[in-house]
Amino acid sequence: MAKRRKTKSKTKRISFKLGTSKERKKQRLTHRPSLTGILKVLAVVCVLAAVGIGFVFLDKYVRKTVPVSEKTAILELVDAPAWVNEPLKEKIYAAAKAYGEDLKLDEDAALSVQQNIETLVAWLDEVEVETTHDSIRIEGRWRKPLALVKKGRQSFYVDTKLVVLDYVAMPNLPIVRVNGLSAKTKIPPPGEVWECDDLAAAVAILARLDLMDKLVTPDKPLLYDIDSINMSNFNGRRNDRKPHIVMYATDNTEIIWGAEIGTWQRYLEATDEEKLTNLYAYYKEHDSLLNSAKRINLQYSQERVSLPIDKY
């Protein structure tokens, strides 16, 4: 009996131990992630990685295969002078596009830009347009406005060659208004030469002053002090005894010039060079044309003042 009990108790102990070990194995198995789950996670990661790599290669492929003609072109003005302001640039860019949609970067677009500028923009001459890898470059000879003409509600500029320019506000330039032009004269469209004797005589004087400013007073141009030039008595058409051409400073100081350039001898006036010299001598002495005299008379010879311009 004693032996059987011992055997039983051993059996119970063995079966208990086996039972506990099985339970521990079950517990371990329940805490470990299943192999199937791990494989699923790895599969998802691999798919995502493959998709990401695919997008990178696709992006590179698309970039390489987009033709140049499908890229939007950037317009670029090359070597524009400092006086060309933003409103004028925007006007030229708009005209280059013919006021339409964005341009594509190809030779057809460059040709279209050149034709549009030659047709619509008077400010540029001898225009050349070319494409680069990312832009359409516009280059040409700029026409600088020198005189302003107002007729009714319309305003126009002209350059030294009497080419008409459409109006754009240019407060950064000393542009002189021309008054008293013949009423019979007709203003041609922008880009064309304005054949007008009294306008040509006014512009000839202003061109001389512009040159003198560059040579003598580049830091403080005299032209900024001149508001207008009156041509109403050009060639004495109203009264031959009165000065033919008179300028007015911005404070209304009268600057009597006299006959048009090249005709001083006919009217026994000071030479054109003397007139310029005396005007700039006065300007340098007073540092201004303003608030010093009611009238500056250049018409007749005065004692010559030596200036740096004598060497030119």
What dihedral do alpha carbons 260, 261, 262, 266 form, nearest 10°?
40
| Residue tagged 């506990």 (tokens) | 20
Per the CB < 8 A criterion, the answer to whether 141 and 188 are in contact is: no
Asked whether residue 32 falls in the same domain as residue 95, the answer is no
SS3 state of residue 93: helix
Query: 103 and 251: one domain?
Result: no
Q: How far is residue 238's CA from residue 261's CA, in Å, rounded to a whole number? A: 19
Q: 245 has which bridge partners?
A: 258
> Which two three-digit tokens encode residue 28?
């371990």
Find the helix packing angle between 272-286 and 197-215, rounded to 10°.
50
The verdict on 249 and 123 lying in the same domain is no
Burial of 249 (0-12, 13-18, 19+ CB in 10 A): buried
Other C-beta atoms lying within 10 Å of the C-beta of residue 170: 18
Q: Which phi and psi angles does 129 have, rounded to 5°?
A: -125, 135
- Output the pLDDT for position 50: 55
pLDDT of residue 200: 98
* DSSP structural state of residue 206: H
279 and 168 assigned to the same domain = yes
Alpha-carbon distance 270 to 266, whole Å?
Answer: 11
Q: Using the 3D structure, point to which of 46, 65, 84 is the last residue of a domain.
A: 65
* Same structural domain, 209 and 235: yes
Write down the pLDDT at residue 104.
77
pTM over 0.75: no
Tokens 């699923």 belong to 40
CA–CA separation, 39 vs 260, rounded Å? Answer: 99
Only one residue has tokens 């608030």, namely 291
Say whether 302 sits in a helix, a strand or coil: coil
Supply the range of the domain harboring residue 94.
69-142
**Apex CA 46: angle with CA 41 and CA 48, to 5°?**
95
Give the pairing type, strands 124-131 and 147-151: unpaired
Determine the pLDDT at residue 71. 56
Based on the fold, state whether residues 26 and 119 are members of the same structural domain: no
The tens-digit pLDDT sequence of the chain (312 residues) is: 444 444 444 444 434 444 444 454 444 444 455 666 665 656 655 555 554 554 444 343 333 333 444 456 789 999 999 999 999 999 999 999 886 666 777 888 889 899 999 999 999 999 999 988 888 999 999 999 999 999 888 999 999 999 999 999 999 999 999 999 998 878 899 999 999 999 999 999 999 999 999 999 999 999 999 999 999 999 999 999 999 999 999 999 999 999 999 999 999 999 999 999 999 999 999 999 998 888 999 999 864 444 444 444
Close Cβ partners of 227 (under 8 Å, ≥ 6 residues apart): 176, 177, 248, 249, 250, 252
What is the domain-level CATH number for residue 269? 3.40.50
Number of domains, the chain: 3
Is there a contact between 213 and 266 (Cβ–Cβ < 8 Å)? Answer: no
Is residue 136 domain-shared with residue 163, that is, in the same domain?
Answer: no
d(CA 202, CA 229): 7
Last residue in a domain, options 26, 49, 65? 65
Is 69 in contact with 104 (CB distance < 8 Å)? yes
In a shared domain, residues 152 and 268: yes
Same domain, 213 and 226: yes
d(CA 113, CA 103): 9
Residue 103: its pLDDT value, please? 73
178/250 same-domain check: yes
C-alpha span between 45 and 53 (Å, rounded): 12
d(CA 155, CA 184): 17
Q: Read off the CATH number of the domain in which 87 is found.
A: 3.10.20
